[in-house]
Chain A
Amino acid sequence: MKKVFLIVAFAVTSQFAVANNADQFKGLTITPVDQLESNQSEVVVNDKTFRTNGANKVVPGLDVFDESGFNAYTVTGEIIVKLSGDVDFEQFNKDNDLIIKQAYKEYYILKSQSNRDLLPLVDALKQLDGVSSVTLELADKGVIQK
């Protein structure tokens, strides 16, 4: 049992490079990946289907993973808006409790100030004249110290 705890520590908390030990896996059986059960919910973000561990509202802090299961992300609440013309965000932001976090060239980074469902907000932004694309930011959970 102690060995199993050690492996878990590897998988979950490793911050630096660590040494490996094959003895840790002796006695464990290998399950083919297609035999694993799945009981997760689906959400569509940025026109792609993602799965969650039960949640179906896309709010800041939600963890999602893609259909392959190999990529996991956190919804940060920030929205990347690419412009194709002039857009006056002032009234829109006031109405939707958004702030401009950053602006760079044709990109605006908006941030939701509340814990609301972000998908209707993204749809509303897409309707604004002068907006080229709207992307809900998904922070890659795989980015760690190396």
Chain B
Amino acid sequence: MKIKTSLLAASIMLACTPAIAKITDSTFPLVAGDPLVSQQWHLQNTGQTGFSQSAGVAGNDLDLDFTHLMGIKGRGITVSVIDSGVEIDHPDLRANVVDGSINLGDGSNYPQDNNGHGTSVAGLIAATEANGLGGRGVAPHANIVGFNYLPNQTVGNWLVAHGLSEDFRQLDRFTDPRVFNQSYGSTPASPRIHDYSLDPWQELQDTVYQDITEDSHWGRGSVYVKSAGNSFEVYNAYYRGYRILVLPYENNQFFNNQGLPFHNANIASDNNNHWNLVVSALNAEGKLSSYSSVGSNVFVAAPGGEFGEAAPAMVTIDLQGCDAGSNVAGEHGNALHGGTELDPNCDYTGTMNGTSSAAPNTSGAIANLMSANHALNARQIRHILAQTARKTDAEHPGIDLTFENSEGELVTYNAIPAWQQNAAGYNFHQYYGFGAVDVDDAVYQALFSPTTALPEQVITPWQLQTANTEIPDASLTGATSKLAFEQDVTVEAVQVKLNIDHTRLRDLAIELISPSGTRSILMSARTGWLGTTEGGYTNTLMLSNHFYGESAKGEWQLKVIDTDKGSSYTLGYHAALGLVGFNRENNAENGVLKDWSLRVIGH
């Protein structure tokens, strides 16, 4: 009955809206019935505080009011939460839990969450709507299954959590997941080698991602959503078995990285394999969250918030009780926490954040999109998201890096470009991919714009280009190599495999320029590598979504620029080691761009 009422209301709205206005640009109130929903700025940002000490800027949200008004809320779509576990009997979640959850530790069907992270993630996706409890999910009618993979990481458990069930059946039932949320990842301190012959586990992972993306659910496929990482300013890594905090250091200042991202989402193997849809995080002002990793492999951005004290984080469910999860008894900088009148049992939190939150907000958005049109396949979902993403933080100027070159002159390099429009008309920013997820525009397109099937996808063979070109130290000149690409393919994504000798990788900026002249930063200068792999980048894979829709035919250029003659370096800290300095000496010899390979995923 509720659905019918919603559809009727939406029809009236459609009929009454002048033809020149875009219905999805109007603002409709969200239905009542959840006491915390008014503080869930990511659903509808009115400038509320989210129980923090400052307010966001109205309008910077997922834009889903029209979608919810239409009654499109994820019905019939199952989202898998691959995380610390999920408290599936949480009163604000259990109505949406379906069979399929697995405790990967003991084999039972209760995915015990001893941390709370996965439970909060699940709440962002599909907390129940209008039940008088807490807030609601982005897709409050979607189904949820959970896996406590993070405390039980083995290859067998990875396969089960990512879609290959223990009884080896195919994903073809309505209750099998069509969206896999992965709010986890790693931040490697040295480059990964992409070589299946050395790493069958990587080959197996990529094969599963591809198979389920393309072939599950009778060919409609599933979407894997992945958090970009929380390493814009610092990151954690292991050194000799110790888990250290890694931070930049320049001009005798801790955390000084010239405003540039300290780490890059393009580093981790599961972030650059194309099958994962990588999401960066936005705060309540519509700008990049202070911690969010970025890179050319980011597809879209979604709300992740800040820390929930000085500025809003996410309001979502928490482990039940005031002795578990993020919200526990006692004083706290977030006004929801500590057993307050609105939440006396501490079942909700106002401090969930991270790209861990941006990913489930995107997963929920995708569930809505799929439920609007169940016939859409995984590629069409990506296509619609790219076409409808919103240009958030539109005035972001990019970042110029000024450094002293080898001649002693100060020179300036545009290290992070402002928003660019590629030759196919897509806006792209290193921080935000195609932009902020806009659920209403995406759903509207799925419903009312005829979506023709995309031509069959092709993945071209790797094309190798030998360069053996020296990279001048601290110079804008850089090393440039050109590759002539003959296949007439429309780009969906481009992958590059690099071999570069250089002992201080944090000095290097790596750019790829398309035949149409679009310049994409594959790896930004001052990325906080601690070390090299076999003397530099060795068969290191990087991905760019920046060229979406462009023709791949023509001349591609790779440019590598050394931006530092040794003034910056990287620190690691652990109590047992103290403060340890890495990369303290400049490279004694100029680096060399040895060779690179390129392949196109497109049609």
List chain A positions with a Cβ less than 8 A from chain B: 4, 7-8, 10-12, 14-20, 22, 25, 28-33, 36, 38, 40, 51, 53, 63, 65, 68-72, 74, 76-78, 80, 82, 101-105, 107, 109, 111, 133, 135, 137, 139-146
Identify which of A17, A33, A105, A142 contacts B580 (C-beta below 8 A): A33
Across the interface, do A144 and B578 meet the contact criterion of CB distance under 8 Å? no
Q: How far is the CA of A139 from the CA of B551 in the complex (A)?
A: 39
Across the interface, do B238 and A141 meet the contact criterion of CB distance under 8 Å? yes
User: Which candidate, B22-30, B201-209, B361-369, is the interface stretch facing chain A?
Assistant: B201-209
Contacts of A71 in B (CB 8 A): 188-190, 238
Given contacts A51-B240, A70-B237, 13 further A-B contacts (CB under 8 A): A11-B574, A16-B352, A20-B234, A33-B582, A65-B240, A71-B238, A137-B154, A142-B236, A144-B185, A144-B186, A145-B117, A146-B183, A146-B228
CB-CB contacts below 8 Å: B183-204 with A: 183-190, 199-201, 204
Across the interface, do A103 and B168 meet the contact criterion of CB distance under 8 Å? yes
Q: How far is the CA of A70 from the CA of B208 in the complex (A)?
A: 27
Q: How far is the CA of A72 from the CA of B304 in the complex (A)?
A: 29
Q: How far is the CA of A74 from the CA of B580 in the complex (A)?
A: 24
Across the interface, do A8 and B574 meet the contact criterion of CB distance under 8 Å? yes
Across the interface, do A146 and B184 meet the contact criterion of CB distance under 8 Å? yes
Across the interface, do B153 and A25 meet the contact criterion of CB distance under 8 Å? no
Across the interface, do B154 and A139 meet the contact criterion of CB distance under 8 Å? yes
Q: Which 6 A-B pairs have the closest CB atoms?
A: A72-B238, A101-B156, A142-B186, A17-B291, A22-B254, A70-B189
Identify which of A53, A69, A77, A102 contacts B239 (C-beta below 8 A): A69
CB of B571 within 8 Å of the partner chain: yes
Q: Contacts A80-B201, A142-B238 known; A31 to B354 CB distance under 8 Å?
A: no
Across the interface, do A70 and B531 meet the contact criterion of CB distance under 8 Å? yes
Identify which of A20, A80, A141 contacts B200 (C-beta below 8 A): A80
Across the interface, do B253 and A38 meet the contact criterion of CB distance under 8 Å? no
26 residue pairs from A and B, CB less than 8 Å apart:
A11-B243, A11-B244, A17-B230, A17-B291, A17-B304, A20-B247, A33-B582, A36-B240, A38-B240, A51-B241, A63-B241, A71-B190, A78-B156, A80-B201, A101-B154, A102-B166, A104-B168, A135-B201, A137-B155, A139-B154, A141-B238, A142-B187, A146-B184, A146-B227, A146-B229, A146-B356
Across the interface, do A11 and B240 meet the contact criterion of CB distance under 8 Å? no
Contacts of B13 in A (CB 8 A): none
Across the interface, do A76 and B229 meet the contact criterion of CB distance under 8 Å? no
Identify which of A4, A10, A107, A146 contacts B204 (C-beta below 8 A): A107
CB of B91 within 8 Å of the partner chain: no
Across the interface, do B154 and A76 meet the contact criterion of CB distance under 8 Å? yes
Across the interface, do A142 and B183 meet the contact criterion of CB distance under 8 Å? no
Q: How far is the CA of A105 from the CA of B184 in the complex (A)?
A: 26
Looking at chain B, what size class is its interface with the partner chain?
Answer: 35 or more
Residue in B156, B204, B353, B575 whose Cβ sees the most chain A Cβ within 10 Å: B156
CB of B289 within 8 Å of the partner chain: yes
Q: Which residue of B lies closest to A74 (CB)?
A: B153
Contacts of B187 in A (CB 8 A): 142
Q: How far is the CA of A106 from the CA of B166 in the complex (A)?
A: 16
Across the interface, do A31 and B200 meet the contact criterion of CB distance under 8 Å? no
Q: How far is the CA of A12 from the CA of B154 in the complex (A)?
A: 22
Minimum Cβ distance to chain B for residue A108 (Å): 10
Across the interface, do B117 and A25 meet the contact criterion of CB distance under 8 Å? no
CB-CB contacts below 8 Å: B332-367 with A: 351-356
Q: Which residue of B lies closest to A40 (CB)?
A: B240
Contacts of A109 in B (CB 8 A): 155-156, 159
Q: Contacts A69-B239, A109-B159, A137-B201 known; A17 to B289 CB distance under 8 Å?
A: yes
Contacts of A16 in B (CB 8 A): 117, 230, 326, 351-354, 356
Q: How far is the CA of A83 from the CA of B247 in the complex (A)?
A: 43
Q: How far is the CA of A19 from the CA of B201 in the complex (A)?
A: 35
Contacts of A78 in B (CB 8 A): 154-156
Minimum Cβ distance to chain A for residue B359 (Å): 8
Identify which of B83, B84, B304, B531 contacts A68 (C-beta below 8 A): B531
Q: Which residue of B lies closest to A143 (CB)?
A: B186
Across the interface, do B578 and A104 meet the contact criterion of CB distance under 8 Å? no
Minimum Cβ distance to chain A for residue B502 (Å): 15
Q: How far is the CA of A22 from the CA of B245 in the complex (A)?
A: 12
Q: Contacts A78-B156, A102-B156, A144-B184 known; A17 to B573 CB distance under 8 Å?
A: no
Q: How far is the CA of A28 from the CA of B577 in the complex (A)?
A: 11
Across the interface, do A30 and B580 meet the contact criterion of CB distance under 8 Å? yes
Contacts of A82 in B (CB 8 A): 200
Across the interface, do A105 and B577 meet the contact criterion of CB distance under 8 Å? no
Q: Which residue of B lies closest to A47 (CB)?
A: B198
Contacts of A63 in B (CB 8 A): 241
Q: How far is the CA of A133 from the CA of B572 in the complex (A)?
A: 37
Contacts of B240 in A (CB 8 A): 36, 38, 40, 51, 65, 69
Contacts of A141 in B (CB 8 A): 238, 243
Minimum Cβ distance to chain A for residue B534 (Å): 10
Identify which of A76, A135, A144 contacts B150 (C-beta below 8 A): A144
Contacts of B153 in A (CB 8 A): 74, 76, 139-140, 143
Minimum Cβ distance to chain B for residue A12 (Å): 6
Q: Which residue of B lies closest to A52 (CB)?
A: B241
Q: How far is the CA of A101 from the CA of B157 in the complex (A)?
A: 9
Contacts of B35 in A (CB 8 A): none
Contact with A along B320-331 (1 / 0, CB 8 A): 000000100000
Contacts of A25 in B (CB 8 A): 254, 571, 573, 579
Q: How far is the CA of A100 from the CA of B353 in the complex (A)?
A: 39
